[in-house]
Structure 1
Amino acid sequence: MDILLIEDDVNIGNSLTKGLTEEGFSTTWVKNGLDARDVIFNEKWDVIIMDIMLPGLTGIQLCEMVRFKKISTPILMLSALDEVDDKINALDKGADDYLSKPFNFKELISRINALHRRFHQKMPSESEILSCDTLVVNKTKNKITRSGVDIQLSSKEYMLLCCLLDEKDKVVSRTRILEQVWHTNLDTYTNIIDVYISYLRNKIDLPNEKKIIKTIKGRGYMITESE
């Protein structure tokens, strides 16, 4: 597996490069955001690991550029910032996972492998059109409408909506949502689900439209046309 590590802290960079190499990963270490941008745009990687606080370009800026270029390589963000808002910001800008410093190296390896499985194994074909009531998601065109009105969603909001629509009229557990959208099963992320459900409701529950995302207390969430 080819891993790009973007980290300006020399001690952390040396330690991670040594550890990842010993685990059998081919690891390239870049120390600033500007150099990393060129490396990402010109080469292919299986997983990108990046710090948030980088010289030249921050991890957040770099992540936004990568996703703007339609590069889908999974990104694992590392940061000493561990507030919920910091995690939400990173995930909303295109990161696929977030690990707060200091972290356990074995957990890092586990998350790298999980990201690789998720993004590089062939997935079964899915329906390209998902709908509920007047809400329609065209996955081919990445287009969301409600009663013909265009709705703009962030990448995580879109993934959460598709996760619910794939199981329309069924309860989707919080664990399932964490695995599908945030690629983790750690309950430290559960309040992020609540935040993103609120974001979704604010965007798709247009005036005079039926509220279609239901909270099933103690079990999870369900999207349905039924009352």
Structure 2
Amino acid sequence: MQPLARILIVEDEPAVASVIQKALMEDRYEPSVAMDGESAWDHIQRFEYELIVMDVMIPGASGIELTRKLRKAGMNTPVLMLTALGSTDNIVSGLDAGADDYLTKPFKIAELLARVRSLLRRHIPSSNSGPATLTFFDITLNLDEKNARRNDQIVELTATEFRLLEYLMRNPRRVLSRMDILEKVWGYDFQLNTKTVDVYINYLRKSSKAPVPRASYTPSSEWAIS
């Protein structure tokens, strides 16, 4: 039977890696294991994976450094980051590096499998997924290449900023609550203060000077959040 997806597990604790690998195999995935940053990068360059389960604290390059390297190389493979460091700063650092989701140790295998399924659904190409580009006024997002342009000039955005701008551009002129944005952009029950949305909106304004949401009103040419 064809495996559902190839998944790389980057975890230096043999017992944890073994439990994750067994659970993924039982769910018909094809998991591989790398136990340090160097071997993980070797796997990533040699093989194609649909998902990477990445521990933050690994020998050699950390999970955050490896994820940042992955994104810098133009690879869009979704990353589920595992961390024993559940503070807001550590979570934000991982997401800003390009991780798509995170799970705090200790975790239940059922929850990990649910996150895996969610990430794979969000990243599997579909012929019904709509156009490869989104345009709003003079801003264009290329969803295949994961880049943004304004007036044909590249706008430098982090992975999180890109997802946020994509969601806003898919919902033009709608009033969006902060909780709705957290759920849709980060893809799970995000455990940060809703003011995180305001912080990232400001990041977008500084990066692109784009017509992004304002919290207090709803002008026809802009998005708004409540």
Smaller-chain TM-score range?
0.7 to 0.9
Residues 214 and 224, structure 1, Cα contact 8 Å, conserved in 2: no
Aligned equivalent of 1:108 = 112
Aligned equivalent of 1:145 = 150
Question: For 1:88, which of 79, 85, 92 is the aligned residue?
Answer: 92
Aligned equivalent of 2:49 = 45
Shift in alpha-carbon separation, 1:127–1:56, aligned structure 2, 3 A: closer
Question: For 1:64, which of 68, 91, 96 is the aligned residue?
Answer: 68
State the shift of 1:20 in Å: 2.1
Once the two structures are superposed, residues 21-70 of structure 1 have per-residue CA deviations (whole angstroms, 9 ceiling, x without a partner) of: 22322211111110010101110112110101111111111111211222
Q: Which shifted more, 5-14 or 34-43? A: 5-14
Residues 148 and 157, structure 2, Cα contact 8 Å, conserved in 1: no
Partner Cα distance (1:223, 1:102) in 2 = 45
1:215 to 2:215 alignment: yes
AA paired with 2:28? G
AA paired with 1:139? N
Q: Name the SS for the 1:77 alignment partner.
A: strand
Q: Name the SS for the 2:86 alignment partner.
A: coil
Residues 3 and 28, structure 1, Cα contact 8 Å, conserved in 2: yes
Q: Name the SS for the 2:49 alignment partner.
A: coil
Residues 137 and 143, structure 1, Cα contact 8 Å, conserved in 2: yes
State the shift of 1:189 in Å: 4.5
Partner Cα distance (1:43, 1:149) in 2 = 33
Partner Cα distance (2:104, 2:121) in 1 = 22
Q: Name the SS for the 1:29 alignment partner.
A: strand
1:159 to 2:155 alignment: no
Q: Name the SS for the 2:8 alignment partner.
A: strand
Partner Cα distance (1:129, 1:46) in 2 = 24
Identity of aligned residues (%): 31
Q: Name the SS for the 2:54 alignment partner.
A: strand
Aligned equivalent of 2:34 = 30
AA paired with 2:107? F
State the shift of 1:176 in Å: 4.3
AA paired with 1:215? A
Question: For 2:221, which of 207, 210, 225 is the aligned residue?
Answer: 225
Partner Cα distance (2:59, 2:220) in 1 = 46
AA paired with 2:221? E
The alignment of Structure 1 onto Structure 2 pairs a total of residues equal to 215
Normalized against structure 1, the TM-score is what?
0.82
Question: For 2:82, which of 78, 83, 91 is the aligned residue?
Answer: 78
Question: For 2:23, which of 5, 19, 22 is the aligned residue?
Answer: 19
List aligned pairs for 1:164-183, cutoff 5 A: 164-183=168-187
AA paired with 2:58? L
Q: Name the SS for the 1:28 alignment partner.
A: strand
| Structure 2 spans left out of the alignment, 5+ residues | none
**Aligned residues: CA RMSD:** 2.7
Q: Name the SS for the 2:191 alignment partner.
A: helix
Normalized against structure 2, the TM-score is what?
0.82
